[in-house]
Structure 1
Amino acid sequence: MRVAAIDCGTNSVRLLIAEVVDGTLTDVSRRMEIVRLGEGVDRTGRLAPEAIERTRKALLGYAMEIAELGVSRVRMCATSASRDAANAADFTAMVRATLGVDPEVISGDEEARLSFAGAVTGLTVEQPYLVVDIGGGSTEFVVGDTEVRHAVSVDIGCVRMTERHLHGDPPTPAEVAAAEQDITTAVDTALRTVSGHRTATLIGLAGSVTTVAALALHLPGYDPERIHHARIPYDDVAKVTFDLLGSTVADRRDLPVMHPGRADVIGAGALILRVIMERAGRSSVVASEHDILDGIALSLA
């Protein structure tokens, strides 16, 4: 059976087409487009028409590939931006017309559980895990071993924190301090809620984490195989975060591992990861290329 999973977040929309054999996945195609669906949502409470149109164009390409590759099941999950928007019905109508299925605007709890399912597949590190999925609008904290034990979603993400605090290019020390305070409050609440301090291994998901990992590893280009399950020390995360927050967007775009659509928000994403490591008392983070997208595909299997 061939399935298609689509994850539509605040910053990107991603597609995974996979073969399912005995409950395991084999990738056929992975694609990502930066559409910034959540642009301005933190301020206006609405999805911008131009953001919906960018997403429509990306989904149109995905729909063509799904048809060409003979997919039998499709599931699209929409996360933080779509939960927050007053005009989510406009987005739903667009997806139905473009893709032929309704998007599931999932709760933060469901988002966390799907992320955990995708992340722990193939892991051989010590349990229990603290899985953190740093998105554009929210970050999910999940504690579990073979299954989820506790989960919570908090409204800190790389797009939301950039729009709320990091206005300079590069951001000023005062802007960074304000963002860090906001992040710290949310992280402390999340860690208390899920008992995150009692876990053995911190696992980081999504583009902010994998980009920080790629920079810490000094890769000449973005290499998912090198990044997947790489263990990154705290000192390296702190150094990368300091460098990103001290550079301009143009300088970040010139980094060989940087997706150009991530360059303006990666500083906030790195800061979120660094604060999580500090507040959870972690000396390292294991980066994972498998995340909610794989969890959605597994749910179809």
Structure 2
Amino acid sequence: MNRVAAVDCGTNSIRLLIAEAGPDGGLLELDRRTEIVRLGQGVDATGEFHPDALARTFAATDAYAALIRDAGVPSSRIRFVATSASRDARNRDAFFSGVHDRLGVTPEVISGDTEAQLSFVGALSRVRPGAEPVLVVDIGGGSTELIVGSAAGAVASAVSLDIGSVRLTERFLSAHPPAPEAVAEAAAHVDAQLDTSGIDFAAVGTWIGVAGTATTLAGVHLGLEQYDRARVHGSVITLPALHALFTRLVGATVEEIRALPSMHPGRADVVTAGTLIAVRIAERLRVEGWLVSESDILDGTALDLLRTAGPTGPH
């Protein structure tokens, strides 16, 4: 059985993809789940995982372990990638051992470069950009990945910046709505990171957004009563519409944001910060809109697993 399971654990969410090889060489998705666990709660300030955050993450991992077992995926064909929060936490050994006890695999704390590569491959696995170069942006909870490459999937440059929706919220935007001075301070912090990123934003031909901030904003932009992955995937948020979304969010309370149709309640308090990052990137681009992809690092990780593992396990 050529079946794999990929788990992506970031600062805000933990996500699962169970898939097998499709007839066209791509992925045949069998199950995909997302849980908001906020593993990065307080990590920026304390440097450690909070016990409550670990408990939430382990509970989600228990549920994923049952799904993976039911799908018949052996531990040799599971890959658990952990990103920004896990790179920063001093007590990450407790996280590693807790996941290993539940899944039989140790989390792989991937570098920003590896995260960027997997995100780029995943994003391009199901969308076709219209112009090159392509910029894929993954706005996570603790970091933001910017990857530039070709439509064929070759990465030319990539950078991981220490700006993310949770990190920015905890530092600058914890009040809802935030004061204008706090928004200006947060924007200046994001601008400083983008200005030194080395990315030639003006040359970008297609801008693709992956992961929670982009897909959440697409659902709100489309006015979906309930989140619909099929409608979100491949949708485009024009730059004026993106600015309008930010204006709407930055003036709202968490309760008002949570009440928006298709808004995941676990993202309501951090989506404004994620949108600010997107807006500051948009200011530097000459494209007409933001192409949103539901395929991302999970898909890239699953594809990599299928390429490197044989029918019963790794070579």
Give me the whole-angstrom Cα distance separating, in 1, the residues matched to 2:26 and 2:13. 25
Task: Give the match's secondary structure for 2:224.
Answer: coil
Task: Give the match's secondary structure for 1:194.
Answer: coil
Q: Which AA in structure 1 matches 2:216? A: T
Task: Give the match's secondary structure for 2:196.
Answer: helix
The superposition leaves residues 86-139 of structure 1 with CA deviations (integer Å, 9 ceiling, x where unpaired) of 111111111111111000000011000000010011322222200010000000
Whether the aligned pair in 2 keeps the contact of 1:165 and 1:176 (CA below 8 Å) is yes
Answer with 165-174 or 256-265: which moved more: 165-174
- 1:209 corresponding residue in structure 2: 214
Whether the aligned pair in 2 keeps the contact of 1:167 and 1:175 (CA below 8 Å) is no
Whether the aligned pair in 1 keeps the contact of 2:246 and 2:279 (CA below 8 Å) is yes
Give me the whole-angstrom Cα distance separating, in 2, the residues matched to 1:148 and 1:19. 25
Unmatched segments (≥5 aa) in structure 2: 307-315
The superposition leaves residues 5-36 of structure 1 with CA deviations (integer Å, 9 ceiling, x where unpaired) of 00000000000001113531011000011000
Q: Please point out which of 125, 135, 138 is paired with 2:140.
A: 135
1:185 aligns with 2:192: yes
When the two chains are superposed, the root-mean-square deviation of aligned CA atoms in Å is 1.1
Give me the whole-angstrom Cα distance separating, in 1, the residues matched to 2:72 and 2:202. 45
Give me the whole-angstrom Cα distance separating, in 1, the residues matched to 2:172 and 2:102. 35
Give me the whole-angstrom Cα distance separating, in 2, the residues matched to 1:186 and 1:206. 20
Task: Give the match's secondary structure for 1:6.
Answer: strand
Task: Give the match's secondary structure for 1:150.
Answer: strand
The superposition leaves residues 165-193 of structure 1 with CA deviations (integer Å, 9 ceiling, x where unpaired) of 01212111111111111111112222xx2
Give me the whole-angstrom Cα distance separating, in 2, the residues matched to 1:29 and 1:5. 11
Q: Which AA in structure 2 matches 1:218? A: G
Q: Please point out which of 95, 98, 101 is paired with 1:94.
A: 98
Whether the aligned pair in 1 keeps the contact of 2:122 and 2:299 (CA below 8 Å) is yes
TM-score normalised according to structure 1 size: 0.97
Whether the aligned pair in 2 keeps the contact of 1:228 and 1:289 (CA below 8 Å) is yes
Aligned positions of 1:264-283 closer than 5 A: 264-283=269-288
Whether the aligned pair in 2 keeps the contact of 1:188 and 1:279 (CA below 8 Å) is no
**Distance apart, 1:84 and its partner CA:** 0.7
- 1:227 corresponding residue in structure 2: 232
1:112 aligns with 2:121: no
- 1:246 corresponding residue in structure 2: 251
Give me the whole-angstrom Cα distance separating, in 1, the residues matched to 2:285 and 2:46. 33
**Distance apart, 1:144 and its partner CA:** 0.6
- 2:313 corresponding residue in structure 1: none
- 1:163 corresponding residue in structure 2: 170
Matched residue count? 299
The superposition leaves residues 246-286 of structure 1 with CA deviations (integer Å, 9 ceiling, x where unpaired) of 10001111111100000000100111111111123433110
Task: Give the match's secondary structure for 2:137.
Answer: strand
Give me the whole-angstrom Cα distance separating, in 1, the residues matched to 2:95 and 2:221. 37
User: Share of identical aligned residues, percent?
Assistant: 51
Q: Please point out which of 293, 305, 310 is paired with 1:288.
A: 293
- 1:42 corresponding residue in structure 2: 44
Answer with 162-171 or 194-203: which moved more: 194-203
Unmatched segments (≥5 aa) in structure 1: none
